Amino acid sequence: VIGHPKYQDSKRIAIFLSMPDEIQTEAIIKDIFKQGKECFIPRYKPQSNHMDMLKLSSAEDISSLTLTSWNILQPSDDDSAREEALAGGGLDLIFMPGLGFDKKGNRLGRGKGYYDTYLERCMKHPSGKPYMIALAFKEQICELVPVAENDVQVDEILHEDC
């Protein structure tokens, strides 16, 4: 990931905070700050499909986040001091989680449509659609994953055998 040309060229990067069954992203987050890039993480709104990408000030900032009922760390609902990526310069790159992926770039998420809805908003931003890389275990690559009309394909899937 760290040697990927799209990562190297990106200044504003959104990345998920890993759940135990996902590719672990802590080392990538530390490198984002080491390289002087801006790091944004998801804040999901419960009972909706709305998500924002909020700016972290440092890798250590993660320890100030709250744990949701889904066991995901994220900025609290009343945290209004953080920049939302689309309120500023948009995003260059988004690292995305998922449960399964196919070779066409289709992604099976957890069913709420958070990323698809967020990407619709990205496409309306002046900076345009960010490059999207899914981080996966090779076991998550399938022949075909079910998709709906509003599902957005990822640009690339990275796994350990790439």
Specify binding-site residues for substrate.
17, 22
Q: Are 1 and 7 in contact (CB under 8 A)?
A: yes
- Which run of H or E residues covers position 134? strand 131-135
For residue 73, CA distances in Å to 80, 109, 142, 145, 151 come to: 16, 18, 29, 28, 25
Nearest to 94 by CA among 36, 154, 48: 154
Question: Binding site for ATP, residues?
Answer: 107-115
Q: Which residues pair with 102 in a beta bridge?
A: 142
CA distance 138 to 121: 30
Tokens of 133: 């890389």
CA distance 52 to 9: 23
Question: Binding site, residues?
Answer: 17, 22, 107-115
